[in-house]
C-alpha cells in the first residue's frame, strides 16, 4: 500500500479581487455558502478523508481565517451562559485539536506552485493533499475521500478532473488522458491553461490534488509557466514517467466559487440540499422567471 496521506495544504493567499468590495477587508475564503465559510467546507472535506494535519499558506490580510479556527472566548461564554447549546456546538466544531493547524505565509504572489512549495517544511518526505477552497464540491462522499480511496490502490500523483466545455478549457489545467479504469484516468500529459487549439482534451483539473515529495523538489526550481507563474501542473508534468499519475473523475457537482455566478449557484444548490431550507428556497425560486 502507498504511504498514507495524512496532511493537507490549503493555499489561501489569493487576493479575491473578483469579489471586491466584499473582499476588501475579508479573505475570499471566508465568504459563506449559506452559513459556512468556503474554507471550512474544504477543511471538513479533508477531515472526512482522514487528514490529520492542516497547513494553510496564507498572506497579508488573512488573519480572519486563523481566528475562525480558534476559540471565540466571549462568544462561547455568552452562548454557554444563555444555554445556547446548539449554537455553542457549532462554534466549537470549527476548532481543531492543538497543533493540528499550521500557518505559513507566501510572501510573494508567484503562483499556485509557489504557494504549495511554501508548505514544504511542514510536509517533509510524505505525500500530501492540496485543496483549493474556491472549488466547492457537493457530493455524498467527499471528493478527497474518493480520491484517497483510489490513491490507496495506485499511489503516485493524482488530480481531480471533470469535463468542461470548449470555451472554458483555457481557464484550467488540462490532462491528456490515457487508459481508463472506472473513475481513474491515466495522465499522459498535463498543460496549464492551454488555448483550446492546443488542449489535449476537455478534462480539466479541479482543485484537489495528491502529490508526492518529488514534486516539491521540482517546484523548488522556480520554473515559470503560464502567466509567468510557478505552476503546480508544470511540476506534475515533469514527474510523468517517474511515478504513477492519474486523474480521478470524482462523483459530485463542483462549483467555481472563484466566480460570482459559480458562487451564487453554490449558494442555491447548498440551500436546496438542506432539509431546513429546501421548501422555502424552491418556493422563492418560482417567483423569479
* Number of neighbouring beta carbons within 10 Å of residue 273: 13
Q: Which of 58, 65, 32 is nearest to 257 (CA)?
A: 32
For residue 127, the minimal CB distance to ligand G1P (Å) is 19
Distance of CA 190 to the CA centre of its chain: 19
DSSP one-letter code for 4: P
For residue 192, the minimal CB distance to ligand G1P (Å) is 5
DSSP one-letter code for 25: S
Q: Which of 222, 258, 233 is nearest to 110 (CA)?
A: 222
Is the Cβ of residue 79 or residue 135 nearer to ligand G1P in the bound state? 135
Q: Which of 256, 5, 29 is nearest to 130 (CA)?
A: 5
Measured CA to CA, the distance from residue 257 to residue 234 in angstroms comes to 24
Measured CA to CA, the distance from residue 13 to residue 31 in angstroms comes to 14
Q: Which of 151, 285, 277, 123 is nearest to 208 (CA)?
A: 151
For residue 8, the minimal CB distance to ligand G1P (Å) is 16
Is the Cβ of residue 49 or residue 236 nearer to ligand G1P in the bound state? 236
For residue 232, the minimal CB distance to ligand G1P (Å) is 6
For residue 143, the minimal CB distance to ligand G1P (Å) is 12
Is the Cβ of residue 16 or residue 37 nearer to ligand G1P in the bound state? 16
Residue nearest to ligand G1P as judged by C-beta position: 173
The H-assigned helical ranges of 136-231 are 143-154, 213-219
Phi, psi of 251 (to 5 degrees): -90, 130
Q: Which residues are near ligand G1P by CB under 6 A?
A: 112, 132, 135, 172-173, 192, 204-207, 231, 233, 258
Is the Cβ of residue 79 or residue 132 nearer to ligand G1P in the bound state? 132
Q: Where do we find the cell 447548498? A: 270
* Number of neighbouring beta carbons within 10 Å of residue 177: 19
For residue 114, the minimal CB distance to ligand G1P (Å) is 11
Measured CA to CA, the distance from residue 7 to residue 50 in angstroms comes to 9
Is the Cβ of residue 79 or residue 203 nearer to ligand G1P in the bound state? 203
Is the Cβ of residue 112 or residue 144 nearer to ligand G1P in the bound state? 112
**174 by DSSP, 3-state: which?**
strand
Is the Cβ of residue 63 or residue 171 nearer to ligand G1P in the bound state? 171
For residue 233, the minimal CB distance to ligand G1P (Å) is 5
For residue 14, the minimal CB distance to ligand G1P (Å) is 7
Is the Cβ of residue 79 or residue 229 nearer to ligand G1P in the bound state? 229
Amino acid at each position: 500500500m502507498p504511504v498514507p496521506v495524512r496532511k493537507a495544504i490549503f493555499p489561501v493567499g489569493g487576493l479575491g479581487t473578483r469579489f471586491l468590495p466584499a473582499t476588501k477587508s475579508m479573505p475570499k475564503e471566508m465568504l459563506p455558502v449559506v452559513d459556512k465559510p468556503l474554507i471550512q467546507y474544504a477543511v471538513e472535506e479533508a477531515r472526512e478523508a482522514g487528514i490529520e494535519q492542516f497547513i494553510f499558506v496564507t498572506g497579508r490580510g488573512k488573519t480572519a481565517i486563523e481566528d475562525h479556527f480558534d476559540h471565540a472566548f466571549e462568544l462561547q461564554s455568552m452562548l454557554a451562559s444563555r444555554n445556547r447549546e446548539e449554537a455553542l456546538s457549532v462554534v466549537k466544531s470549527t476548532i481543531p485539536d492543538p497543533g493540528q493547524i499550521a500557518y505559513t505565509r507566501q510572501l510573494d504572489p508567484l503562483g499556485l506552485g509557489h504557494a504549495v512549495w511554501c508548505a514544504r517544511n511542514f510536509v517533509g518526505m510524505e505525500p500530501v493533499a492540496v485543496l483549493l477552497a474556491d472549488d466547492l464540491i457537493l457530493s455524498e462522499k467527499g471528493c478527497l475521500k474518493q480520491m484517497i480511496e483510489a490513491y490507496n490502490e495506485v499511489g503516485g500523483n493524482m488530480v481531480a478532473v471533470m469535463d468542461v466545455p470548449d470555451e472554458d478549457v483555457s481557464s484550467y489545467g488540462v490532462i491528456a488522458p490515457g487508459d481508463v479504469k472506472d473513475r481513474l484516468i491515466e495522465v499522459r500529459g498535463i498543460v496549464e491553461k492551454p488555448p483550446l487549439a492546443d488542449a489535449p482534451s476537455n478534462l480539466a483539473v479541479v482543485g484537489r490534488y495528491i502529490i508526492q515529495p518529488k514534486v516539491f523538489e521540482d517546484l523548488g526550481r522556480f520554473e515559470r509557466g503560464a502567466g509567468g507563474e510557478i505552476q503546480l501542473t508544470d511540476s506534475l508534468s515533469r514527474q510523468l514517467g517517474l511515478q504513477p499519475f492519474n486523474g480521478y473523475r470524482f462523483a459530485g457537482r463542483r462549483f467555481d466559487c472563484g466566480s460570482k455566478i459559480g458562487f451564487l449557484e453554490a449558494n442555491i444548490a447548498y440551500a436546496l440540499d438542506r432539509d431546513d431550507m429546501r421548501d422555502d428556497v424552491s418556493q422563492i425560486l418560482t417567483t423569479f422567471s
